[in-house]
């Protein structure tokens, strides 16, 4: 196949996959297969730069940093529409009456109903199907050229399908979904970086980044809802048909739309969307009604630069001002300490809010939130209400001091009194009394009983909830004192189930040091690290007494893990629980440690993929780790070997691509037999 033809084929295939992933939310191929196609296209375009075009999928990220945005004169002004602030059904009836009066003797009007997205309005200019320019609304007459940034939004096609128009300007909204907004902010908090105030500001701020590479890191989406200039395409007769056509061209159009007749149907659409507003994946602040017939739109015309044929029917606001009365500290299931704003109750997002999260100390200090301030509270969907900012001009003279969590708590957990700690580079303070703290009790018990930890079969969420809420179990050690009489009154706990649970608890008394260390739920100590610690120290006492320098002699244990271990074993409450567990018969074999011993696979990284016939993947992993290997979840250049069983997938493809050695099950068994006899 000629290079040009192969490039065209790859571009078409990649755009199909982009549409399936970003617009339809139904990916058609694994990520590895997509990456393979993308890399092939990049390589061909690098080898043949004369064939590179602006609408290639490879041109979505990048571009030089801009000094500023060039002005763009809109061929057709981007006008705003009237807002109906009456959030009751009467708002729909008011609009219908105005339209009927303007049109004269018309019994019932047909309307197109849509969502009012809370983002940034954008004009996309396509010439003969290719995206040439993207511009903001600006003042309606002149906007800003944001083409480079808009190209980074994967759901916006760079080339339209089957579009014959010489010019087609598509208007719509760039937005950020709640999930993407929350994920982005959580990652920023983890890195100690500035967060976004809300999805709307996140979308607008991203599009107006002067560095397209930074804009590309912000997760944005787009919905089309109308047209600007059109040349060389005969418009359909209705607005709803225009949206259908845009969708057929490959543009994302929101499915939550309807064509209805009459005012009552408008009000019903408003009620229906209001009821599902919280369940939507993105923010809206109302719905939009448009007269569906383009002929009737033309007849109605405009008044003071607003179309008579459209209106935005608002919902209750999702941001409001209120007074911060106090700051409380909550302890989460994992020991995370979260400052919570105690507010003067305010109606926001459809409900009365009196508490709102401040996320962590750094975020609270960055926003300079103080007791007595007037604050902006936001509630969107089912997201926990949060304080997003302070109105400094309303700050009273007697406002409280800057927030200091450690000073506020005098360094101790408000629930159990254990010391609070914050690891280097972490944004969150945490309670160190993991096994003892009541706030962490359910999480600690579930982790302790997990299959990879103490493996207490039958001890699941509902049973743990009953044991804790019934004040029967306070720490993991209490599990080993449970009796039939204690279990008899629990809901859905028959005699057989109780006997099975007691039998599972009894069996768990005999374990391994690695499982026990992992079961303790020490922060940053996963299953593999627990195995490394058990192998290195051999005895629990040696591990508990080791200082940070000694802990960092263990492979893959760095300063953060060492700090977590010392914090855990320095807390008297945790030591009491460990001692109680041993007194109740939890035991394992101990040895003198292998800190100086080099195992056969020390320093080697393996990856397992596919199904093994002679053993489970977990067993294979355990046997490899016992020989000193690290078993990773993905293939990279640092991988020493991939073990491929039946129906191996993308990891096997990646191994071949990177020339990583691959073993089948027979080769693995042969090597294990050889190494395990050394």
Residue numbers annotated as active site: 116
Q: Is 289 helix (H, G, I), strand (E, B) or coil?
A: strand
Q: Is 439:331 a contact under the CB 8 Å cutoff?
A: yes
Q: What angle do CA 212, 213, 219 make, to 5 degrees?
A: 90
Alpha carbon separation from 468 to 285, 331, 418, 431 (Å, rounded): 42, 16, 20, 19
Between CA 421 and CA 437 the distance in angstroms is 14
What is d(CA 552, CA 540) in angstroms, rounded to the nearest whole number? 16
Place of tokens 């939310």: 25
Looking at residue 479, the DSSP 8-state letter turns out to be G
| CB-based contact 314:85 (threshold 8 Å) | yes
CA distance 558 to 442: 29
Chain center to CA of 522 = 25
Q: Which of 246, 248, 119, 239 is nearest to 175 (CA)?
A: 119
Burial class (CB in 10 A: 0-12, 13-18, 19+), 419: middle
Q: What tokens does 170 get?
A: 């598509």
Q: Tell which residue, 579, 566, 454, has the closest CA to residue 515.
A: 454
Q: Is 425 exposed, middle or buried (0-12, 13-18, 19+ CB in 10 A)?
A: exposed
Nearest to 286 by CA among 272, 306, 275, 270: 270
Rg, the chain, Cα only: 31
Token couple for 599: 């195992």
Q: How far apart are CA 348 and CA 350, in angstroms?
A: 5
Burial of 45 (0-12, 13-18, 19+ CB in 10 A): buried
Angstrom CA distances, 549 to 268, 342, 552, 557, stand at 67, 43, 5, 10
Q: Which residues contact 534 (CB under 8 A, 6 or more apart)?
A: 512, 513, 514, 517, 543
């Amino acid at each position: 196949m000629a290079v040009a033809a192969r490039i065209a084929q790859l571009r078409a295939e990649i755009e199909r996959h982009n549409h399936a992933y970003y617009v339809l939310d139904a990916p058609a191929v694994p990520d590895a297969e997509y990456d393979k196609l993308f890399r092939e296209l990049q390589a061909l375009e690098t080898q043949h730069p004369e064939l590179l075009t602006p609408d290639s999928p490879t041109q979505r990220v990048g571009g030089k940093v801009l000094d500023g945005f060039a002005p763009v004169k809109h061929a057709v002004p981007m006008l705003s529409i009237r807002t109906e602030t009456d959030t009751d059904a009467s708002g729909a009836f008011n609009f219908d009456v105005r339209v009927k009066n303007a049109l004269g003797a018309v019994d019932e009007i047909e309307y197109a109903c849509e969502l009012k997205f809370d983002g940034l309005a954008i004009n996309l200019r396509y010439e003969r199907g290719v995206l040439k320019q993207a511009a903001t609304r600006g003042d309606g007459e002149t906007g800003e050229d944001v083409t480079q940034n808009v190209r980074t939004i994967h759901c916006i096609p760079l080339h339209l399908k089957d579009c014959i128009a010489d010019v087609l300007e598509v208007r719509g909204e760039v937005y950020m979904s709640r999930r993407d907004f929350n994920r982005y902010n959580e990652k920023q908090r983890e890195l100690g970086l500035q967060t976004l105030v809300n999805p709307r500001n996140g979308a607008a701020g991203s599009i107006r980044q002067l560095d397209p590479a930074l804009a590309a890191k912000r997760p944005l989406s787009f919905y089309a809802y109308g047209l600007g200039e059109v040349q060389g395409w005969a418009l359909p007769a209705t607005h709803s048909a225009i949206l259908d056509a845009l969708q057929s061209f490959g543009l994302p159009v929101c499915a939550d739309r309807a064509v209805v007749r009459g005012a009552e149907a408008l009000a019903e659409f408003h009620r229906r969307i209001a009821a599902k507003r919280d369940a939507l994946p993105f923010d809206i602040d109302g719905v939009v009604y448009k007269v569906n017939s383009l002929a009737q739109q033309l007849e109605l015309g405009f008044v003071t630069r607003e179309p008579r044929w459209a209106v935005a029917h608002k919902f209750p606001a999702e941001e409001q001002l209120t007074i911060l009365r106090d700051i409380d500290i909550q302890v989460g299931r994992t020991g995370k300490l979260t400052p919570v704003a105690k507010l003067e109750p305010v109606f926001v997002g459809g409900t009365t809010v009196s508490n709102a999260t401040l996320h962590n100390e750094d975020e609270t200090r960055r926003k300079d939130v103080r007791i007595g301030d007037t604050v902006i509270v936001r509630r969107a969907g089912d997201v926990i209400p949060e304080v997003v900012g302070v109105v400094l001009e309303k700050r009273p003279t007697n406002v409280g001091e800057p927030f200091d969590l450690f000073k506020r708590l005098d360094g101790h957990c408000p629930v159990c009194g254990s010391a609070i700690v914050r690891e280097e580079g972490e944004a969150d303070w945490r309670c160190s009394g993991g096994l003892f703290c009541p706030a962490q009790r359910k999480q600690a018990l579930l982790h302790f009983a997990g299959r990879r930890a103490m493996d207490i079969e039958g001890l699941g969420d509902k049973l743990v909830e009953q044991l804790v809420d019934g004040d029967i179990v306070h720490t993991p050690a209490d599990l080993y004192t449970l009796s039939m009489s204690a279990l008899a009154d629990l809901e859905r706990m028959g005699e057989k189930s109780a006997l099975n649970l007691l039998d599972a608890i009894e069996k768990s008394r005999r374990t391994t040091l690695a499982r026990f260390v992992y079961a303790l739920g020490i922060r940053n100590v996963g299953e593999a690290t627990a195995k490394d610690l058990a192998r290195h120290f051999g005895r629990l006492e040696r591990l508990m007494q080791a200082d940070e320098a000694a802990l960092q002699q263990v492979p893959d244990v760095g300063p953060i893990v060492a700090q977590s271990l010392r914090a855990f074993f320095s807390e008297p409450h945790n030591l009491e629980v460990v001692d109680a567990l041993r007194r109740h018969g939890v035991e394992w074999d101990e040895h003198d440690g292998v800190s100086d011993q080099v195992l056969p696979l020390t320093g080697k990284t393996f990856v397992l993929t596919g199904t093994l016939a002679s053993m489970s993947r977990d067993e294979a992993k355990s046997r490899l780790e016992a020989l000193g290997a690290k078993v990773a979840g993905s293939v990279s250049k640092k991988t020493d070997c991939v073990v491929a069983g039946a129906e191996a997938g993308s990891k096997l493809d990646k191994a071949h691509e990177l020339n990583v050695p691959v073993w089948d099950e027979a080769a693995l068994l042969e090597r294990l037999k050889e190494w395990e006899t050394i």
